[in-house]
Amino acid sequence: MIPVRDSNPSSTTPVVNYFLIAVNVFIFFIEITHPQGMDRFIYQYGLVPARYTNPAISEYFGFFDQALCFLSFMFLHGGWLHLIGNMWTLFIFGDNIEDRLGPFKYLFFYLLCGLVSGLTHFMFNIHDNIPVVGASGAIAGVMGAYFVLFPGARILTVIPIIIIPWFIEIPAFIFLGIWFLIQLLNAAGASATGIAWWAHVSGFAAGAILLGFFTRLPSSKFSERIKGSLERKKSPEIITVRTLRIPDSLDVMGKVEISAFEAISGCTKKVNIPWGFYNRLYKIIIPPGIKDRQKLRLEGLGLADDYGNRGNLFIEVRIRHTSFNYPDK
């Protein structure tokens, strides 16, 4: 299963998530252009358990070198596919976690999940002389947090059937639950070498557990001000709306969320409404000055009966108000 996108837009610009992706890409270019070769670079900065347990190896590395590897390993990758797969997953899931935690707490959360995954791999492979690299453990932590926070979000997923791609929307708790189960079964059965399965498992678990701690941590006024400055003025142009039938009628009801800026100025949205296996795209105009929970009626776009009668589609507009409290000047 390959995730394509999620249906859960963030309300702020995920600057830390973009920064992490940029750092990973930058360091990968350093890897492939390193004058002493990529393998030597990875052994120097990757996490190699035997460097800590084998005296014949550890004597070649100082304290700083040994400590640095528990951070640097999560920014290295073994190849283009490894890098692209990790960064794409981080791009899809990371913005929502940063949106919830704020940029500074998100950065520490990401690094701590990566550290937990590295320590777990070390404990399960204490004498291994093969370096482990990759952001997978830290990203697994992000996925674990997403599993807890947004279980009902929809993940557009492509499932390759021989050479034919099959696109399907899957609830996040199913997509991430299947992913975690695959990692756990592989880790327990040691079915493949060269992949740090326990790092994935522990990273996911750490993200799900640490999330509660990080959400309870108080944010500084500076952090809240930064988060407020990153708030998006506009919501996505295309919004997927899940509808519910209004009892005893052919009418259906859905909800869209817009920003406070869009509520004042008005906006035009493309509303994507799934009907069975099909998606229908409608263009709606939200007038300026609309109020929170005000409803728009789209005549004739509801359900139909056997006699050709059609109900209406009601769109309830929710306005996303900022929740940041700024200090008095």
Q: Confidence band (pLDDT; 50, 70, 90) for 120?
A: very high
Q: Is 33's pLDDT higher than 60?
A: yes
- Virtual CA dihedral for 181, 186, 189, 191, nearest 10 degrees? 150
Report percent pLDDT > 90 for the chain.
36
Q: What are phi and psi of 313, to 5 degrees?
A: -105, 120
The neighbour count for residue 32, using CB atoms within 10 Å, is 12
pLDDT, position 279: 60
Residues 6+ apart with CB under 8 A from 150: 6, 8, 96, 172
Q: Are 138 and 203 in contact (CB under 8 A)?
A: yes
Beta-bridge partners for 258:
319
pLDDT at position 208, please?
Answer: 95
pLDDT value at 322 more than 70 = no
Q: Class of the 2-229 domain?
A: mainly alpha
* pLDDT grade for 84, boundaries at 50, 70 and 90: very high
Candidates 183, 12, 5; CA nearest to 92 is 5
Mean pLDDT of 170-199: 84
User: Tokens 């000047």 belong to which residue?
Assistant: 329
Domain borders along the chain are 2-229, 238-320
Tokens of 254: 């859905």
DSSP character string of 157-203? EEEEETTEEEEEEEEHHHHHHHHHHHHHHHHHHT--SSS-HHHHHHH
Measured distance CA(32)–CA(77) in Å, rounded:
10
User: Contact 197/183 with Cβ under 8 angstroms?
Assistant: yes
> Fold identical between 2-229 and 238-320?
no
Q: What is the pLDDT of residue 324?
A: 42
Instruction: Specify the CATH number for 238-320; select among 1.10.1740.10, 2.60.260.20, 3.40.190.10, 1.20.140.10.
Output: 2.60.260.20
Contact predicate 192/182, CB 8 Å: no
Residue whose C-alpha is closest to residue 154's, from 177, 174, 139, 182: 174
CB-CB contact of 108 with 81 (8 Å): no
pLDDT tens-place string over residues 278-315: 567 788 888 888 888 899 888 888 888 888 888 888 98
Main-chain phi, psi angles of 27, to 5 degrees: -70, -35
Rg of the chain on CA atoms, in Å: 24
pLDDT-derived band at 321 (thresholds 50, 70, 90) equals low
pTM more than 0.95: no
173: left (phi over 0), alpha (psi -120 to 50) or beta: alpha
Any idea which of 194-198, 244-248, 321-325 has the lowest mean pLDDT? 321-325
pLDDT digits over 255-279, tens only? 888 888 888 888 888 887 766 545 6
Write out pLDDT tens, residues 99-108. Answer: 999 889 999 9
Mean pLDDT of the chain: 86
pLDDT band at 60 (very low <50, low <70, confident <90, very high): confident
| DSSP letter assigned to residue 243 | -
Q: Say what the pLDDT of residue 139 is.
A: 96
Burial class (CB in 10 A: 0-12, 13-18, 19+), 276: exposed
Strands 154-161 and 164-171: antiparallel
Q: Distance (Å, rounded) from C-alpha 54 to C-alpha 129?
A: 9
Mean pLDDT of all residues in 32-47: 89
More confident call, 97 vs 197? 97
8 A C-beta contact, residue 276 and residue 255: no
